[in-house]
Structure 1
Amino acid sequence: MTLLDAATKVRENAHAPYSRFKVGAALRSAEGHVHVGCNVENVAYPEGTCAEAGAIAAMVAAGDRRIAEILVIADSPDPVPPCGGCRQKIAEFAAGDVAVTLCTTDGKSLKTTVAALLPGAFGATHMDRA
């Protein structure tokens, strides 16, 4: 199954009764496994979970630790980038040159990288003296 297929399928499971904006994410770990996530809203905003965060949590729960590539899909006129928090979460598990593909349900896509989404990312090396 491709990342696009996996993200498209899991997007349908999103719990988005408030925004009605369903998002799906699929990532391939460095180990070659596909992990998926969808957004899960909560009436007590901002207590929901983004699709990207869900996919990362599934990856970690399965024992994988590095993202090799990630894809996000939403029903939007233009490809939707991850929120700021998810950009940092992705950067925690991915090198700067890792491919990020942003898609719409009507076939538009944009390819970028983790570094392009989060230039100057805060990383573990910033805490070397701690």
Structure 2
Amino acid sequence: MNPVSDPLIAAALAARANAYAPYSRFHVGAALRTEEGQIFAGCNVENAAFPEGSCAEAGAIAAMALAGGRRIAELVVAGEGEAPCTPCGGCRQKIREFAGPETPLRMVDARGRVLLHTTLAALLPHSFGPGHLAGNPA
């Protein structure tokens, strides 16, 4: 059992433990909470046919969408090392599809220590989202 008391951080760390990263050996887990309070997690999955792997954030978002979720209320990314493991550019855009500018994002280390607490707007300023397309919600 994970000793971390924050359920979102605990879910991200548990996902990180199951990452498939035989090439980079850089394990990442992500967990998101929906507006309804549901938690979904994902891990990075590498592939010998680089760059056909997938990011932890994408996995968590896919799990949420599969369950019918459509809004991210908060997201945690668990990486390793002393530097925050922030979402890549593609994942920032994927998060933007389901989250607003003020959505909180936390990056934690392998022990669950928060290294960076920020918002989507800070990571993806002047973003392009569903509201920019005619007939779609903001």
Which TM-score band applies after superposition, normalised by the shorter structure?
A: over 0.9
Gaps of 5+ in 2: 1-5
User: Aligned partners of 2:23 and 2:85: how far apart in 1?
Assistant: 18
Q: How does 1:7-86 map to 2 (within 5 A)?
A: 7-86=12-91
AA aligned opposite 1:103: V
Superposed CA deviations along residues 49-86 of structure 1, whole A, max 9, x for unmatched, are 00000000000001110000000011122111100000
* Number of equivalent positions: 130
CA contact (8 A) 2:33 2:40 kept: yes
Percentage of pairs with the same residue? 56
Per the TM alignment, residue 108 of structure 1 is displaced from its structure 2 partner at its CA by 4.2
Bigger drift between 120-129 and 4-13 goes to: 120-129
Superposed CA deviations along residues 79-129 of structure 1, whole A, max 9, x for unmatched, are 111000000000100011010001111424210001111001111232228
Among candidates 115, 118, 126, match of residue 120 of structure 1: 126
User: Aligned partners of 1:109 and 1:77: how far apart in 2?
Assistant: 8
AA aligned opposite 1:102: M
| Aligned alpha-carbon RMSD (Å) | 1.5
Q: Is 1:100 aligned to residue 105 of structure 2? A: yes
CA contact (8 A) 1:7 1:25 kept: yes
User: Aligned partners of 2:98 and 2:132: how far apart in 1?
Assistant: 16
CA contact (8 A) 2:106 2:114 kept: no
Secondary structure at the residue paired with 1:105?
coil
Query: Structure 2 length normalisation: TM-score?
Result: 0.89
Query: Structure 1 length normalisation: TM-score?
Result: 0.94
Secondary structure at the residue paired with 2:118?
strand
Secondary structure at the residue paired with 1:9?
helix
Secondary structure at the residue paired with 1:59?
helix
CA contact (8 A) 2:42 2:57 kept: yes
Match of 1:110 in 2: 116
